[in-house]
Structure 1
Amino acid sequence: MEANSKGVAGVLNAPAPHMVGDGFRVHNFFPSGYKLKMSPFFLLDYNAKIAFSARNEPRGVGVHPHRGFETVTIAYHGAVAHHDSAGNSGVIYPGDVQWMSAAGGILHKEYHEAAYSKKGGDFQMVQLWVNLPAKDKMSKPKYQGIQHQDIAKYQLPAAAGEIEVIAGEYKGVKGSASTFSPMHVFNARLNKDGKAKFDFPASYNTGFVVIEGSIKVNNAETAHADQFVHFKNEGTSIEVEALENSVVLILSGEPINEPIAQYGPFLMNTAEEIQQAISDYNQGKFGYLE
C-alpha cells in the first residue's frame, strides 16, 4: 500500500433487499442500509442481478414526484423505459445511463421496457440520488440520456480493460454527463489481473460498488460482487486489481456541506422547503403525467 493511499473504511455486504414498485428489487447501501458519509451522493439503490419472468404487463413504478436532486440510473442488464412531466422519455439498455435532474420539480415513472418484459431475463441496475447545492435546487429540470456508445472511454494499458467516464474526468478523458457540483462517476470494466489507478482528493467522499467479479484494493482488501467498498477521507490514490473479469462502479465527489431536509421524494435544505414542495405538488405545479 502506497504512503498516500486512500484507506478502506469498510467492505460492506448488500443490506436486505426491498421492492420499489413491483419492478425493482433493491439493496439500499445508503442512507438507510448504512450511515455513510457519501455526499453529494445521497442514496444508492442497487438492484443486484435477478431474473424476472416474462409477462405482458411491464413491472415498474408509477407516477411519482421529485424535487431538489438528480436521479442517475445505470443499466447493466435488462431495460427500463422512462417518461416525465417535462416531456422527456427514453429507454435505457445495458451500458446506458439516464441522468435526470428533477431540480425544481418533476413527475416521472419508470417501467421495464416492453420487449424486455415480454421475454424476461436478467435485470441489474444502480440508481443514485445526487444531491443538488441549495442554489440549484429550484433550477429547471433537465434530462441527459446517455447511450453506451457515446460514453467517453479510457483504454487502460496492458489490455487491463477500460474506464467508462460517465461524469468527471479520468486521465484527461472528460465525462459525458454535466453535473452541478464536482464528482466522478465511472464504470471500470477490468479484465482478469488488470489494474487501474485512481486519484481523488482526500476530502472527496468515495465508494465502489462491485457489480461483477472480485477485486483487490490497494493490494490489501478484497471485495466481491454485490459488495460496497467505502473509503476514508484520507490519502488520494487507489489501486484496483481485478481477480477475475470484473465491473466496478466508481463514485467520488466533493461533499455539499449544507443542511439536508428529506421527506419521501423531496430533498431540500429546510423543513419549510419540504412543506412548500408538498404544497406545490398538491397544486399540480410539477406538471402532468399519465
Structure 2
Amino acid sequence: MKKKSSFSTQGQRADIGSLVIYRVLPNRYADAVGPFVFLDHIAPKVQTKINKEGTGAHPHRGIATLSYILNGEDEHFDSAGNYALVHSGGVQWMNAGNGIIHDETLNYDSKTDSKLTHAFQFWINLPAKIKAEKPGYLAIEGRDVPFKELPDGSGWVKVIVGSFEELTSAIPTYSAQFLYHIHLEPGAAFAIELPDKVEVAAYLPTLQAIINDEEFKAGDFIEYDRTAGSIEVKNKGQEACDILLFGGEPYPEPIVAEGPFVMNSKAEVANAYRNFYNGDYGKIDYDKQRAGM
C-alpha cells in the first residue's frame, strides 16, 4: 500500500549574503521529520566571484550539522580544530555535542570549470546523552559517498545517511535514520518500502515529480503518514530530476530549540547560551587550520 501525503509546503526565503536560501524545515506544519529538525536549500547559482566571508563563525550545541554539496566546494572550520575542503558531491558532518563554533564557505568547485553552486544543510537532533559528549567531525568527498545505479540506466541512488539495500553511509547515526538522494532519468521510477511508525518526507529541489500518484512541483516539501507502506517516485518530465528522501524513527525526548541550539529543556538552552558567552566553546584559528590541511 502506498503511503498518503499529510501535507506539502514550500520553503521560505532566508538568504545569507549572496546565497539564495530556502528554509524548508521547520515549517508551519512540521518541526521535525524523525531526527531531522532543520533543512536549508542553498539554491543553484552561477557564482562569479569567490566568497571569502562564509556564513560567519557561530555556535551549535545538541545537534549534528550535515552539509551536502551538490555543486561547488565547501570549506569547513571549527573551534575543535577540524578543517576540510570537500568538492561537488561531498558531505561535511559535524557533531556539535556539548558545544562548538563553526564556519563554512561555499564557493564554485576549483577542480572543475563549472561556476555552479548548489547545496543543502540539515540539522540532525542528537539523543540527550550524545548532547553531553565532546564534538566530532567527518568529511566525505563525493567519490566516497555510497552510490548505486538503478536498473536499465534509469538513474541512481546516493546514501548520504543510513543504509539502503547493501549500501551504508559512513556518517554516524544514533537512531534509525536515512537520507537518500535519488536521481531519475525521464520516464523512470523508484520505489521503496518503509516500516510502521517511520517519519518520512520528500523534497524536490529543482524539478517536478509524481510521488504516490500525486504531482508535485519544484520546491515542494512533502511529509507522509506514519503507517507502513511504499513511496513511489516517477519522473514524467523531459529532464532528469532529483529527489531527497529522508526521515527515521520519531525523536523520543523533549525538543526545545532556540537559535543555533537544540536541547531537551529550556534550562539546557539557557546553559548553552551561558557557556557560549563565557567563551567555553573556544575559537576558530582560520590561518592555522588552513596551513595544517
Q: TM-score, normalised by structure 2?
A: 0.88
Q: Is contact 1:23–1:59 with CA below 8 Å preserved after alignment?
A: no
Determine helix, strand or coil for the equivalent of 2:81. coil
Q: How far off its partner does 1:140 sit?
A: 1.6
Write the letter of the residue equivalent to 1:6. Answer: K
Q: Is contact 2:19–2:43 with CA below 8 Å preserved after alignment?
A: no
Q: Is contact 2:72–2:109 with CA below 8 Å preserved after alignment?
A: no
> What whole-Å deviation, never above 9, does each CA across 1:85-121 have from its counterpart, x for those lacking one?
11111123221111111111111111234876xx994
Distance 2:132 2:94 in 1: 14
Distance 2:196 2:224 in 1: 10
Equivalent residue for 1:95, pick from 83, 89, 96: 89
Indicate the residue corresponding to 2:272 in structure 1.
277
Indicate the residue corresponding to 1:168 in structure 2.
162
Alignment of 1:1-290 (within 5 A): 4-15=1-12, 17-20=13-16, 22-32=17-27, 34-55=29-50, 58-113=52-107, 121-218=115-212, 220-243=213-236, 244-290=239-285
Write the letter of the residue equivalent to 2:244. Answer: L
Change (3 A) 1:86 1:111: same
Distance 2:261 2:114 in 1: 32
Q: Is contact 2:11–2:27 with CA below 8 Å preserved after alignment?
A: no
Distance 2:176 2:136 in 1: 18
Distance 1:83 1:111 in 2: 9
Distance 1:199 1:157 in 2: 17
Distance 2:168 2:108 in 1: 33
Distance 1:282 1:171 in 2: 45
Q: How far off its partner does 1:32 sit?
A: 4.0
Determine helix, strand or coil for the equivalent of 2:268. helix
Determine helix, strand or coil for the equivalent of 1:19. coil
Structure 1: gaps spanning 5 or more residues: none
Q: How far off its partner does 1:83 sit?
A: 0.4
Q: C-alpha root-mean-square deviation of aligned residues, in Å?
A: 2.1
Structure 2: gaps spanning 5 or more residues: 286-293
Deviates more, 1:69-78 or 1:227-236: 227-236
Distance 2:149 2:117 in 1: 27
Distance 1:46 1:217 in 2: 20
Q: Is contact 1:195–1:240 with CA below 8 Å preserved after alignment?
A: yes
Distance 1:107 1:100 in 2: 11
Q: Is contact 2:108–2:115 with CA below 8 Å preserved after alignment?
A: no
Write the letter of the residue equivalent to 1:179. Answer: T
Distance 1:34 1:60 in 2: 30
Q: How many residues align?
A: 281
Q: Is contact 1:266–1:277 with CA below 8 Å preserved after alignment?
A: yes
> What whole-Å deviation, never above 9, does each CA across 1:103-161 have from its counterpart, x for those lacking one?
11111111234876xx9943221111110111211112111111111111222112211
Q: How far off its partner does 1:185 sit?
A: 0.8
Q: Is contact 1:208–1:250 with CA below 8 Å preserved after alignment?
A: yes
Q: Is contact 2:160–2:169 with CA below 8 Å preserved after alignment?
A: yes
Write the letter of the residue equivalent to 2:11. Answer: A
Distance 2:27 2:184 in 1: 30
Q: How far off its partner does 1:71 sit?
A: 0.6
Change (3 A) 1:28 1:115: closer
Deviates more, 1:180-189 or 1:204-213: 204-213
Q: How far off its partner does 1:285 sit?
A: 1.5
Distance 1:149 1:277 in 2: 36
Q: How far off its partner does 1:39 sit?
A: 3.1
Residue identity over aligned pairs, in percent, reads 29
Q: TM-score, normalised by structure 1?
A: 0.89
Determine helix, strand or coil for the equivalent of 2:57. strand
Q: How far off its partner does 1:75 sit?
A: 1.0
Change (3 A) 1:206 1:70: same
